[in-house]
Every structure is written in structure tokens, then in C-alpha cells.
Structure 1
Amino acid sequence: MKNIDIIYRNESGIAFYWKTSKQGTLKAQVIFRDMGFYFTLDQLKEFAYLSEASLAQQPCNDCPAPRDCRSLLLKTPLNDVDLAVSRQEVYEIQDLLDQTILRMEMQAFMQTALN
């Protein structure tokens, strides 16, 4: 953990900067459910939008646990990668993404203001 600067963490995952990444590069490693993505701020915003859109999908008609069933298809900013997730996981991923975006934007603003 000494090679990272944590941006945000919740029950489903963690977002952080690698200390070894180049200065001026605003990219975050986001890890949830044993998967890691290394995204720019714009890609994180796109992912947050896609996660919101996934909630419009309807679960199976007779699903016994619609909140926990991994029947939703969550698209990612990577064209070749989609994830099967539950509605609850989408809410947790949204929180992770939203808080990461907010904190990255605050950091970018502070860097701009100090220069």
C-alpha cells in the first residue's frame, strides 16, 4: 500500500493513484470485484454514465432476487469489455466512480489554482 495514494474506497472497491505514475497524468486505478481498470478522468465519467444507463435494464421476469441477480450488463469505456453485475453492485460501483471523479476533479482544480 505504500506505492499508492488512495482516492476513495467503499465496500465494493478502491480507487487510487500509483505513486510511480507520471506527474500531470490524471489516471486512477479502480478495482472492484477482482477487476482493475486504469482510467483517465474522462473515461471514469463515461463509465459513471454507462453505470447509470445500466439501471434502466429490467431483471428477468421471475427472478427470485432481482437486486442481487447478476443479470444486468454493465458496459465499460473499453469497447470489448462488458460486465455482468447485480443492481446492488451497480449502486456500489456508482458510488465508487462518483466519489473518485469528485476527488480527482478537486485535485485537478487545486493543481490549476496553485499554478
Structure 2
Amino acid sequence: MQEIKQIYHNNLGTAFYWRKDNGLVLDKVQLVFREMGFYFTQQELHLFKRYIEDSYIQNKSCDDCELKNKCHKFLLKTPCSQIDLAVSMEELDAVKDLVEGTLFKINLDNYLYGEGMN
């Protein structure tokens, strides 16, 4: 039996629910990328999405820099107040896709198997 149920993945990482006692633990999502794992509630995932958007806004002045996609000078806040991540623009794009894809899939499943069922 699998110990996880994958929600979403991309080239940077994956998001999944843990299985426990023949059921899924749906109140938190395990997000794994760059040898790190975060165990977030949906509210924390939404907060992380806002931090990612804020990071784009703060670093938009680097549009003309030829190193912007490779350097690691961007700090990305996380819902864990003690942890900020140093990421390149490529990694920021991938983290954004991972978080947004995860939230989209969760919302879609909630609709399909919840309020959208007849």
C-alpha cells in the first residue's frame, strides 16, 4: 500500500497527502522541493502563494539583468517565520507552478468530489 497520494508535481518537486490508518490526512499537504519538505495547511499554502507573488514584485527591477534567471539572490519568505529561501528566478517560477498547481488540484477535487457531486 502506498503511504502517500500525490496531488501535483513538476520538475522541481512534488506535493502529496500522507496516508494514515487506511485514510488520507487531508488537513495538511506535504510539499517537497530542493531537498526540503514543508508540511502546510491549505491556508499556509495560500500564504506561501502570496509570498511568491510578493517576491516577483520586489524583484521586478532585475528584468534587464542577464543573470536574473541563475543567481540566488532572491529571498522567498515561507509560512514558517524562521525560514526564508534563497532562490533563482527559475526556481521561483517552478515553486510558483508547484504551489499554484497544488492549490488548483485541491480545489478541483473539492468541487468534483464535494459540492459538485449530484
TM-score band, normalised by the shorter chain?
A: 0.7 to 0.9
Alignment TM-score, normalising by the size of structure 2: 0.83
Change in Cα spacing, 1:64 to 1:89, as seen in structure 2 (3 Å) is same
Partner Cα separation in structure 1 for residue 97 and residue 81 of structure 2: 22
Alignment TM-score, normalising by the size of structure 1: 0.85
Change in Cα spacing, 1:18 to 1:24, as seen in structure 2 (3 Å) is closer
The Cα of 1:79 is off from its aligned counterpart by 0.9
The Cα of 1:35 is off from its aligned counterpart by 0.5
Q: How many residues align?
A: 113
Matching residue's letter, 1:101: L
Does structure 1 conserve the Cα–Cα contact (< 8 Å) formed by 2:18 and 2:24? no
Does structure 2 conserve the Cα–Cα contact (< 8 Å) formed by 1:5 and 1:17? yes
Partner Cα separation in structure 1 for residue 113 and residue 43 of structure 2: 17
Aligned-residue RMSD, C-alpha:
2.4
Q: Where do residues 43-58 of structure 1 align in structure 2 (5 Å cutoff)?
A: 43-58=44-59
Q: Give structure 2 stretches of 5+ with no counterpart.
A: none
Does structure 2 conserve the Cα–Cα contact (< 8 Å) formed by 1:16 and 1:29? yes
Matching residue's letter, 1:82: D
Can you list the C-alpha shifts for 1:34-93, whole angstroms capped at 9, x where unaligned? 110011111101101101111123478xx6622111100000011111111111100000
Question: Which residue matches 1:2?
Answer: 2
| Secondary structure of 2:51's aligned partner | helix
Bigger mean CA offset, 100-109 vs 16-25: 16-25
The Cα of 1:19 is off from its aligned counterpart by 1.1
Partner Cα separation in structure 1 for residue 18 and residue 10 of structure 2: 18
Partner Cα separation in structure 1 for residue 105 and residue 94 of structure 2: 17
Q: Give structure 1 stretches of 5+ with no counterpart.
A: none
Query: Between the two proteins, what is the percent identity of the paired residues?
Result: 38
Partner Cα separation in structure 2 for residue 102 and residue 23 of structure 1: 18
Q: Where do residues 4-23 of structure 1 align in structure 2 (5 Å cutoff)?
A: 4-20=4-20
